[in-house]
Amino acid sequence: MNGRKLWWGLMVGACSISATLGACSSGDNGETDVSSQDVEAARASRHRASNKTCKAPARPDDAGTFPAKLSELGCFTAKDVRKAATGVVAYEPQAPLWSDGAGKPRYFAIPDGTTVHIEDNGHFHFPIGTVLIKSFVLGGRYVESRVFVRHTDGGWAGYSYEWNDAGTDADLLPGAKTKTVGGQSWTFPSRGQCMRCHNDSAETTLGLEIAQLNGPTATSAKNQLETLAAAGYFDAPLPGPVAALPRLARYDSNAPLEDRARAYLHANCAHCHRPSGPGAGSADYRFGVPFGEMHLCGKSAMSGRLMFSPGSPATSEVSVRIHAVDGSRMPPLGTQMVDPVGTALVDGWIQQTNACPGSADAGADGSVTDAGAGDAADAASQVDPSAYAPCDHAVALAEVQASVFNGCAGEACHLRPPMAANLDLRPPSAYASLVNVTSVINPDELRVVPGDPSKSFVWRKLTNQLGPGEGSPMPRGLSAWRPLAGDSLRALRCWIEQGAPR
């Protein structure tokens, strides 16, 4: 049965997961060696190893000090920080994210007495206290480890550690950093940048879902879902036999080319390009979405190219963007080099496709929404100059509510749950949801900074002054983006400049 059709019906590392009940060690090439834990005996007893040391730290701005070194996290052995501690689970997605050629051992740890819930769409919902870890290995050298923690308030946060040259430990970084490693540029993300990909629309954790773990690993033929279920990691039985559950195609498998290309787009693009996601445009790259509902069969409003031009990768926006090495590159974060495997899969799929099945949101000219980052300078020029005219009166919140926010709420995006980007613009809630509140799409910025529109994400969103990874301009339309009326934007700008009074 077609895996995507089956998944759609459900929706209406590097180290073998056979080591989930013990520990595993990582070799110099980024692969791992499985421990000698007797997994079959553990399956029979439904026992999982106790997680005694890998505990979620408090946020740096809360009580205590966040571990300054990776070795202090408690998730690895005292003798070798590359070896996972007992109770830390290693896993390997079927279709991994491209990270400029780095090998990536991956782990998760949950508190004793807790379990993982599998949601209806196949996504794993982890308990408070969860720690996720992914290390990056280039040419046998450990470069970075990223730690993703679900804190006691229920929120997630990401932290980056830089490995020392000796490969014996890694230091916590306070922010983004770029360095040269083995002749290539490597960027350590800021904590805010982590959350651009690990966004609410993608349900925060990436790569931990039924379709990604429904299969073996590079070092074990055992199915990862079955191993986890037998060890008691889930709060309920699997929703069906693994053969009947969604599965992403491995890139090197003999699965149909379309399935492998779609798996690549799911792993590398769908965390932003999905309904209510921060990605520009209306494209939906989730694997389970039928081709005709991906919104690819039309023109890009950003470049004028067809998003998907059957038989012609060179004129398809999907292909052009993943081949790019400039500011138009996709994904915009976490990669600077072209993936030869992934691009070959996508190009091959486009090349062999004879016709595009159509798109529900294609306009009369075949265009689809794709204005956004990279086109900001041209698109921002569409804003009526009156938006920047001097303020001639004191602007009250009620005026902005009537001329700006009510329109956004009226489109239902910010009118009723689930609110897009968790932004509630209904009259009773708009102020508390905007002023001095951190943006979900860009956690490095506040939605409204009283006195400063240029630093207010809402203002930049409505005037399309956006950067890579910051999504589509608003309000979102069915064709090319069109800004609000100049008078409405001026009211918003003046309200912010005047201190955003309640």
Cα–Cα distance, 321 to 155 (Å, whole number): 32
Sequence-separated contacts (24+) of 142-146 with Cβ below 8 Å? 142/26, 142/82, 142/167, 142/170, 143/102, 143/181, 143/186, 144/170, 144/186, 144/188, 145/70, 145/170, 146/189, 146/194
CB 308 within 8 A of CB 297: yes
- Could you tell me the residue ranges of all domains in the chain? 3-244, 257-368, 376-497
Q: Are strands 170-172 and 177-181 parallel, antiparallel or unpaired?
A: unpaired
pLDDT of residue 453: 87
User: In the beta sheet, which residues pair with residue 89?
Assistant: 108
Cα–Cα distance, 255 to 248 (Å, whole number): 10
pLDDT of residue 481: 62
Q: Which stretches of 1-103 are assigned E, i.e. beta strand?
A: 24-26, 32-34, 89-91
Burial of 328 (0-12, 13-18, 19+ CB in 10 A): middle
Closest CA to 330 of 321, 339, 338: 321
Nearest 5°: CA angle at 226, between 225 and 228? 65
- Could you give the dihedral angle defined by the CA atoms of residues 75, 80, 82 and 84, in that order, rounded to the nearest 10 degrees? -40
Could you tell me how far CA 241 lies from the centroid of its own chain? 28
Q: What is the pLDDT along the chain (502 residues), one digit of tens a residue?
A: 455 544 444 443 333 444 444 333 333 333 333 332 333 334 434 578 999 999 999 988 755 589 999 999 999 999 999 999 999 999 999 999 999 999 999 999 999 999 999 999 999 999 999 999 999 999 999 999 999 999 998 999 999 999 999 999 999 999 889 999 999 999 999 888 888 888 887 788 889 999 999 999 988 899 999 999 999 999 999 999 999 999 999 999 999 999 999 999 999 999 988 887 877 778 899 999 999 999 999 888 677 889 999 999 999 999 999 999 888 888 888 888 999 999 999 999 999 999 988 544 333 233 344 433 334 434 444 677 788 888 889 999 999 988 888 766 544 567 666 567 778 888 888 899 899 998 877 788 899 999 888 889 999 888 888 776 677 778 765 345 678 888 889 999 999 999 999 9
pLDDT of residue 469: 64
User: In the beta sheet, which residues pair with residue 188?
Assistant: 177
Closest CA to 72 of 147, 9, 174: 147
Phi, then psi, of 381 in degrees rounded to 5:
-70, -10
Nearest 5°: CA angle at 390, between 385 and 396? 105
- Give SS3 for 117: strand
CB 196 within 8 A of CB 206: no
Closest CA to 471 of 482, 479, 460: 460
pTM: 0.69
Q: Which stretches of 285-365 are assigned E, i.e. beta strand?
A: 299-300
Cα–Cα distance, 398 to 94 (Å, whole number): 51
Q: Which ranges in 280-429 belong to alpha helices (H)?
A: 317-323, 340-352, 376-380, 397-400, 406-410
Nearest 5°: CA angle at 163, between 49 and 54? 20
Cα–Cα distance, 443 to 193 (Å, whole number): 7
CB 123 within 8 A of CB 47: no
Which residue matches tokens 């052009």?
Answer: 320
Hey, what are 427's tokens? 């009259």
- Three-class DSSP labels, 173-193: CCCCEEEEECCEEEEECCHHH
Residue type, 274: R
**Cis bond leading into 483, ω under 30°?**
no
Q: Are strands 299-300 and 367-368 parallel, antiparallel or unpaired?
A: parallel
Hey, what are 422's tokens? 């968790």
- Residues 6+ positions from 184 with CB-CB distance below 8 Å: 100, 101, 138, 336, 337
Cα–Cα distance, 306 to 293 (Å, whole number): 16
pLDDT of residue 417: 61
Cα–Cα distance, 311 to 325 (Å, whole number): 23
Neighbours of 156 (CB within 10 A): 18
Hey, what are 205's tokens? 């954790």
